[in-house]
Amino acid sequence: MWQGWVNGILGVYLFIVAFIGYGETGNMWNSLIVGIIAAIAGFLMVKEKPWEGWICGIVGVWLIIAAFIPSVVGTTANTLSWILSGLLLMISGFAALGKEVTTTHHGGAHAH
């Protein structure tokens, strides 16, 4: 499921960005926490579990909102990074919700 990979990679990106140090402390913690949540939920979503899609979509919405909170965001680079990352998380997270989990069962007679 491509959405899971996108969300997982974005989570790793946000986690790494938290340590670059191009902003204030609130900025670092926001990137770190959202990155961890998105990475875990995204990589778990690869197995087609719908709750991870909700989590990634919601943290994507949060990143977009946080990009406009002056005490959290810090710099223009953070604003652009969070808006773009938030949009991608939101789109791929909520897009995954349209997928129906299916299981394949191979039944029938067994040859002896």
Is pLDDT at 108 greater than 70 in this prediction?
A: no
Q: What is the pLDDT of residues 53-74, one digit of tens each?
A: 788 888 888 888 888 887 776 6
Nearest to 78 by CA among 10, 14, 34: 14
Other beta carbons within 10 Å of 21:
9
Of 21, 35, 94, 39, nearest to 66 (Cα)?
A: 35
- Overall pTM surpassing 0.95 (yes/no): no
